[in-house]
Structure 1
């Protein structure tokens, strides 16, 4: 019933339902195409790819679907929040990690590194690829980049965790804003102030505030895993709903078999906001890595150094079929979805959201 709204008209999609763009290889061209083919907006988190890989990715998605899709990048920051980095801190932190590596029969790293690709190279490739949507987190690209997107007909979409960030995105000329609540899996994309677990807003507290503060389309994200969540998001003023964890649990996603099975577990899984994975605050499935970091006097180095240390631990853990040191993003709705295929999940989101929107008021229904 929301097929004709500002978002669907602007993007040329059938349903205002977005797939969350998962980073670190959890996205897949197959999933993005499946969501787009089902009428929504498929997405791929491409911040870990080089420019050449981004061009190959876009071509792969287009071989699978002729419909619009979204590519996501992380805006670089000049400095990270938190404690400054020095050699003594790095040495002490590596000593904390050493037993974890030894448990997996890995050689402990001698130092932390920077696994990132050049952002400007990524942007140039994205502009050449011309996806329907360029979404970004952790900041706002330079005005020249936004202007070049406009020239190419690429819709820009920024993420906000508070009203001030939403206003900053609109003032910069960004076309649409994602209101990202604390329930969401993965990183908290704050960029104006350091995110603190105690001060984060839930999706359904943040959403109406953002809706009242900006005039551009607003996409709700975080804690939306079925039709009830979609219907609630629209009731609070959203123009579209972004679903992450439920799509991550689908067979087409790039998540490991172990990761997907935990996300679909009817009993759910315990998630935690932690800096242990990347150095930035993010929501992951609680495991031995996050619990160990909770006990350390220094829980994580800054981003992206921390990421270079946890990636080999995660790979080795998953290769052994163990969740102990795996880095598995998950929102608080983990376990809510029962659908293994993206098309089935899309159909359920559409049908159930309409059902819950049109449900009769029990106080007015005749006996």
Structure 2
């Protein structure tokens, strides 16, 4: 029987299925979110790179296709790190991958992004890399918008609950993309697996736990719920869906990718993330390679290189969770529907 907490979570957030699309920046077009929402789950967009107009446009496009639930995700900004020598060394190393182009647009202003997310009135605003401040949480709640806070440890989760989070996304180290550790310097040393993290958080928190990381079929869904999660969040499982429309090279890198073959790297952005071991990513592990520049300098360097004439630089960040080999090239709605139907059977 499906646990009561799952039914309560779905009822609270207007879902038929306790499956959320992960808010993957650069891989969450409205079509994907619509497909997930129409299947009964929650769509999502990672808007860390988007200004207010793009955030509003995404929400409008989603609502044109679905009246379902969706979340918008923001990164809490890191404290600035000024290491010019490290950044210069990373820039010089990047020169071997092509010729850089001109500077790009200015990075979005976090406060303006927060206002735009609030104006879009999603079902939930979610955070990663830290916590929203109290004033913003109050504004979200006054507008009827829930706050989902990503956490990688119990200490982070407790801090989120104390700060007013309505649910905590328990991100295991298996997850593709960026590791949501609050302290960027601690990311390599914070490697808690999802099925150790979920019961630890479920036993200690009063708010619902959403399990994320390494879930790509019914077995992962059922296991997470059995361990205390109220819902699951999946990302890599949806990357090969036609609605996601990622670069063909990225999609191909996921096909049959073994869990142990995925790697953690700072080569794309300066923040630790799990990816496929492309030649570009692997080059940064060579003995003569410098450390990548701090975030967001490394992200800016890579973006500038992509605006030029890259030679050997991945055109897209090849994010990949440890469940990549389970991802299917089929419509997202079918993935979500099948995962939940089969998980319910496993749960009895």
TM-score w.r.t. the length of structure 1 is 0.87
Q: 2:87 aligns with which of 87, 90, 110?
A: 90
User: Does 2:34 correspond to 1:33?
Assistant: yes
- Which residue is 1:8 aligned to? 10
User: Does 2:338 correspond to 1:348?
Assistant: yes
How many matched pairs?
Answer: 344
CA distance in 2, matches of 1:127, 1:284: 31
- Indicate the SS of the match to 2:324: coil
Contact 2:181 2:190 in 1 (8 A): no
Q: 2:116 aligns with which of 122, 125, 134?
A: 125
- Cα distance 1:316–1:261, how it changes in 2: closer, same or farther (>3 A)? farther
Alpha-carbon shift at residue 136 of structure 1 (Å): 1.1
> Unpaired segments of 5 or more residues in structure 1?
102-106, 359-367
Contact 1:2 1:15 in 2 (8 A): no
- Which residue is 1:331 aligned to? 321
CA distance in 1, matches of 2:295, 2:42: 29
Q: 1:211 aligns with which of 178, 198, 202?
A: 202
TM-score w.r.t. the length of structure 2 is 0.92
Contact 2:87 2:298 in 1 (8 A): no
Bigger Rg, structure 1 or 2: 1
Contact 2:211 2:233 in 1 (8 A): yes
- Which residue is 2:71 aligned to? 70
CA distance in 2, matches of 1:114, 1:187: 23
Alpha-carbon shift at residue 356 of structure 1 (Å): 2.0
- Cα distance 1:167–1:192, how it changes in 2: closer, same or farther (>3 A)? farther
- Of 8-17 and 325-334, deviating more is 325-334
- Cα distance 1:124–1:267, how it changes in 2: closer, same or farther (>3 A)? closer
- Which residue is 1:286 aligned to? 277
Contact 1:165 1:192 in 2 (8 A): no
Listed as ranges, the matches of 1:1-367 within 5 Å are 1=2, 5-23=7-25, 25-80=26-81, 84-86=82-84, 88-101=85-98, 107-108=99-100, 116-192=107-183, 194-263=185-254, 265-266=255-256, 268=258, 270-295=261-286, 296-313=288-305, 326-358=316-348
Contact 2:176 2:273 in 1 (8 A): yes
- Cα distance 1:277–1:327, how it changes in 2: closer, same or farther (>3 A)? same
> Unpaired segments of 5 or more residues in structure 2?
none
Alpha-carbon shift at residue 114 of structure 1 (Å): 8.3
Superposed structure 1 runs of 4+ greater than 4 Å apart: 112-115, 312-317, 322-326
- Cα distance 1:193–1:47, how it changes in 2: closer, same or farther (>3 A)? closer
CA offsets per residue over residues 313-344 of structure 1, 9 Å max, x none?
Answer: 55789x99x78564211100002122410111
- Indicate the SS of the match to 1:294: coil
- Of 308-317 and 190-199, deviating more is 308-317
